[in-house]
Structure 1
Amino acid sequence: MTVTYSSKVANATFFGFHRLLMRWRGSIYKLLYREFLVFALLYSIFSVVYRWVLTDPQRRIFEKLVIYCDRYAEQIPVTFVLGFYVTLVVNRWWNQFQNLPWPDRLMFLISSCVQGRDEQGRLLRRTLMRYVNLTSLLIFRSVSTAVCKRFPTIDHVVEAGFMTPEERKIFENLKSPHLKYWIPTVWFTNLASKARKEGRIQDSVDLQTILNEMNRFRTWCSTLFGYDWVGIPLVYTQVVTLAVYTFFSACIIGRQFLDPAQHYQGHDVDLYIPVFTLLQFFFYSGWLKVAEQLINPFGEDDDDFEANWCIDRNLQVSLMAVDEMHMNIPRMTKDIYWNDPDVRPPYTRAAADYCIPSFLGSTTDMGLSEILQGEEIDIQDPRRQGSVLGRMRRLLSVQEPPDLQIRPSFKRHSSDISSFFPIIPEHRIHPGPDESIADQHRPYFSPHPHVLDTLSTLREVNSMPPSPDISVRSPSHNSIPTVVVSESNPHLGNYGSGVAQDLSVATAVPLVSREPSLEPDQAQKNDACLEEHYDDVTNRADNPTETEPKRFHGKSLTDRAKKRQLSFELSRQNSRRSLPSPKALQRRTGPTTAPHSLAKSPHQEMPQRKDMVESGGQNNS
């Protein structure tokens, strides 16, 4: 029977294989101890003759023979030949195991598809499964010595119940010089077709499925027969065997210890027991014994397949499945987790350590504090304000000729917020009275400056491309493209409404939408407010010294907002170089349709920037 030791090596422990080294059944000691004793005995005989029998002239001749054998024995490629041979044998052994015929798939189909709980239906199902088991028995008799000893003749097969006397007559009357394991397969297919005509098998699809499974079962049987018929070429086995035995025959003489007084190279020590030579014999010969045991797994070795057990198991299980279990279905009842949405089977005390939470991803344990902490480090270190990709984009935009650029390029997946919003006003903690109208149209942001870049989500609206021949969009348009920024996580808390309103200026101030139903007076007020706000932004952009003092060591919300404002202004000044001049833009696009209030602005660059912001918002929506 196959030696199973899986439970002994279930857990890796310190020196865990020592328990396996002491086992005798199925071990290498049981296979090799005879050859090992013969090798040790022959080595000892030559050693005694050299030391006590030979004269001095005879010893000199023997010593030359030892050196010669030791020099040329290493030229035999024992490791190379044995390695390929054992690999081939092990792969062949495992493939034979995978092709053992198991009737489980067929018994499931027959039990469910062959109808009839009467005696005729029961007889039909049991006969079909008996033909299946008879096919495997006939193939096992031809390849396994253990099964052949159990069923040496057809009379023993009839006596065991796999074949009836009438079937035996038909089997023997069919004259064929070849192995007749395929005859029960033909009986099976004919009987299944008859059951389909009689209505026992109600669908032709079921009949086809049963026949396909029977063909697969027959393929497994023929594969085993093919492995038994065509083995590893004999010349390969002979080469490996001769290489191993020739090598160790030379080692019996070549590994003798010589007299140290003769000063032979490599013979400085005189030992009676060649420890490493014996280990080498144990390993190489044991390797050859492994191949010898696995080359035919249907023999009677300790690790050969238990074909007799397979026959007994398959017959008992298959007949039970098609007879006693046919339509014998237990009554359906509600399970114990019927009204429990959180299904958790219980654990014993011994298995309590194996109750672990589900794996939700490597970033599950990454909390919000770590994200904000990393963002704060980027603010405190101006050298790390922008990502590598963002700096490369700004560098490429500076090198582009100004006359070839009509409007700035806004990337959909930009890693720098300054490249998405070219005009970023100052973050004010307390808004002025002039900004009250614009604040009504600003979306709410989390007041924390870190949360703005880290946790806010940009959602783009109105993805229609802008018209190429309009440089400044009239404020009387009904729909102005806007960039809507969703609110941050509400669980972060409220840090103050003033900061939140000022932070929203970074994205939504130039993009204030106006409903068409507004009155003319209200529209003029909004335009005036927007113009005043652009003037304020431009003054601060042209005069960076007018901003409030920057302090990088503060920990309050005001200091953090100022730090973020410095980052925004640096990014805006870098990207400002790539913007075309208003005159060049007007020459390309023609006269603008900007309103009178914006045309009279002392800062001539603002209408162009407003157009670019609106166009960029529409392109990115």
Structure 2
Amino acid sequence: MYHLGLSGGQQKHFDQFATYINTNVERLPIIFMLGFFVTLVVNRWQKIYESLGWIEDTALLMSCLIHGDDEETILARRAIRLREKIPGDPSLQSCVQEVKRFRDFMQTLSNYDWVPVPLAYPQVVFFAFLNIYFPLTTSLQFVFYIGWMKVAESLLNPLGEDDDDFETNYLLDKNISTAMAIVDSTSQKHPPLIRDRFYHHKYLPGLKDDEEDIVGSVAHLKMPNDEPRLSISSIRQSIRSLRKRIQPEAVDDSEISHKI
């Protein structure tokens, strides 16, 4: 297009325009805006994922603390409110804390759904990329920046109906069915304690019997047998020879022994 569709004067004006844009485009904080936007979206997505409510902890706690198979107790476990069925105040406090934690997660999800990301952030980022970076930067830079922006755009609303969003309908159905099964049909019904198939085995099959010990880096180092060994007499002889080279006078052996 540049070589075939433009004349010589048009190519010159295009080169001047491209040079001007490439020189002054660094004044726009594109990287800062994109990094801030992506960080905000990723932190939001992570917080939403951590706040998804899983009912197993609450249901298991209620099933362990509330005993009984009569209809009133079963209804109390399902409603999570009863009198003279919880063993004591610590157990009651544990129940309340677990219910409160689950409610806090639900409130966090509600807050994120209630207050979306301000429109100024995505609009500024999308406008800057679509009007500046696409026609004037290199293809590699375009792929990296637009790909980064698309990742943030796909993570912007994880509770939607896209293929990559969370399966909230499955989570709600699963929480209801699991909670009702824990506090109703399977409560206080434990399997009998019997000897398993590995009772008479000394070690469980499939496990590695021979473990590798921690070996030092020079554990297998072999020293040559003909290597001269240092001794007190050899050290004295070396010091005596060195003293004679430095100071020709005689050196007292007792002084050398005392210093060694």
The reply to whether TM is greater than 0.5 is: yes
> Hey, what's the Cα distance between the residues in 2 that align with 1:77 and 1:381?
70
> Hey, what's the Cα distance between the residues in 2 that align with 1:114 and 1:574?
88
Q: CA offset at residue 72 of structure 1?
A: 3.1
1:328-367 matched pairs, under 5 angstroms: 328-340=189-201, 342-346=202-206, 355=208, 357-363=210-216, 366=219
> Hey, what's the Cα distance between the residues in 2 that align with 1:115 and 1:365?
62
Alpha carbons of 1:574 and 1:323: their partners in 2 closer, same or farther (altered >3 Å)? farther
The amino acid that maps onto 2:65 is C
1:549-588 matched pairs, under 5 angstroms: 576-577=257-258
Matched, 1:291 2:152: yes
2:169 to 290, 308, 333: 308
Contact map agreement 1:99 1:223 (CA 8 A) in 2 = yes
Instruction: Show the counterpart of 1:222.
Output: 107
What are the superposed Cα offsets for residues 404-439 of structure 1, whole Å, 9 maximum, x if unpaired? xxxxxxxxxxxxxxxxxxxxxxxxxxxxxxxxxxxx
Alpha carbons of 1:89 and 1:205: their partners in 2 closer, same or farther (altered >3 Å)? same
Contact map agreement 1:114 1:201 (CA 8 A) in 2 = yes
- Number of matched residues? 241
1:105 to 40, 53, 57: 57
Q: CA offset at residue 115 of structure 1?
A: 1.5
Alpha carbons of 1:241 and 1:575: their partners in 2 closer, same or farther (altered >3 Å)? farther
Q: CA offset at residue 299 of structure 1?
A: 1.3
2:86 to 175, 190, 201: 201
Alpha carbons of 1:282 and 1:217: their partners in 2 closer, same or farther (altered >3 Å)? same
The amino acid that maps onto 2:157 is N
Instruction: Show the counterpart of 2:185.
Output: 324
> Hey, what's the Cα distance between the residues in 2 that align with 1:88 and 1:237?
11
Alpha carbons of 1:57 and 1:109: their partners in 2 closer, same or farther (altered >3 Å)? closer
What are the superposed Cα offsets for residues 191-214 of structure 1, whole Å, 9 maximum, x if unpaired? 2xxx23xx3222222211111111
Instruction: Show the counterpart of 2:130.
Output: 245
Structure 1 residue ranges without an equivalent (≥5): 1-46, 129-190, 256-276, 348-354, 392-572, 580-621
> Hey, what's the Cα distance between the residues in 2 that align with 1:79 and 1:358?
51
Instruction: Show the counterpart of 2:228.
Output: 381
Matched, 1:81 2:68: no
> Hey, what's the Cα distance between the residues in 1 that align with 2:125 and 2:50?
27
Instruction: Show the counterpart of 1:93.
Output: 45
> Hey, what's the Cα distance between the residues in 1 that align with 2:24 and 2:66?
71
Structure 2 residue ranges without an equivalent (≥5): 236-253
Contact map agreement 1:107 1:322 (CA 8 A) in 2 = yes
The amino acid that maps onto 1:345 is P
Contact map agreement 2:67 2:188 (CA 8 A) in 1 = no
What are the superposed Cα offsets for residues 321-359 of structure 1, whole Å, 9 maximum, x if unpaired? 11111111111111223233x322248xxxxxxx57434
Alpha carbons of 1:361 and 1:79: their partners in 2 closer, same or farther (altered >3 Å)? same
Secondary structure of the structure 1 residue equivalent to 2:197: coil
Secondary structure of the structure 2 residue equivalent to 1:380: coil
Secondary structure of the structure 1 residue equivalent to 2:40: helix
The amino acid that maps onto 2:258 is R
Sequence identity (%):
33
> Hey, what's the Cα distance between the residues in 1 that align with 2:14 and 2:227?
85
Secondary structure of the structure 2 residue equivalent to 1:304: coil
1:410-429 matched pairs, under 5 angstroms: none
The amino acid that maps onto 1:335 is D
Alpha carbons of 1:86 and 1:576: their partners in 2 closer, same or farther (altered >3 Å)? same
> Hey, what's the Cα distance between the residues in 2 that align with 1:574 and 1:99?
80
Alpha carbons of 1:239 and 1:124: their partners in 2 closer, same or farther (altered >3 Å)? same
Alpha carbons of 1:330 and 1:61: their partners in 2 closer, same or farther (altered >3 Å)? closer
